[in-house]
């Protein structure tokens, strides 16, 4: 019974560490995107592909008059 408890706690610890590492990787990716986006001039568009999903960032207001 004690070996089962050790295996279970080891598995839970592994899952916790793995999920925490995934969260940290996402945070690093987002931080990298934020730093790249901050360096772009207003009106720029950035498109990234993440996990099969396309993300589009439009930076600031463009100097266009589309309302005319």
Q: What is the pLDDT of residues 25-54, one digit of tens each?
A: 888 888 877 787 888 888 888 888 877 888
Q: How far apart are the first and last CA of the chain?
A: 76
What is the per-residue pLDDT for 35? 81
The reported pLDDT for the residue numbered 63 is 62
**What local confidence, expressed as pLDDT, does residue 6 receive?**
92
What SS3 state is found at 50? strand
| pLDDT confidence of residue 39 | 82
56 bridge partner residues:
47
Coil vs helix vs strand at 49: strand
Prediction pTM value: 0.52
3-state secondary structure of 65: coil
- Our CA angle for 14, 31, 28, nearest 5°, is 20
Task: Work out the pLDDT band at 68, boundaries 50, 70, 90.
Answer: very low
């Amino acid at each position: 019974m004690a070996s089962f408890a050790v295996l279970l706690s080891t598995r839970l610890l592994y899952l916790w560490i793995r999920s925490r590492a995934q969260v940290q990787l996402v945070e690093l990716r987002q931080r990298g995107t934020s730093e790249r986006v901050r360096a772009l001039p207003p009106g720029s568009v950035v498109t990234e592909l993440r996990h099969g999903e396309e993300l589009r960032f439009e930076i600031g207001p463009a100097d266009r008059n589309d309302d005319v």
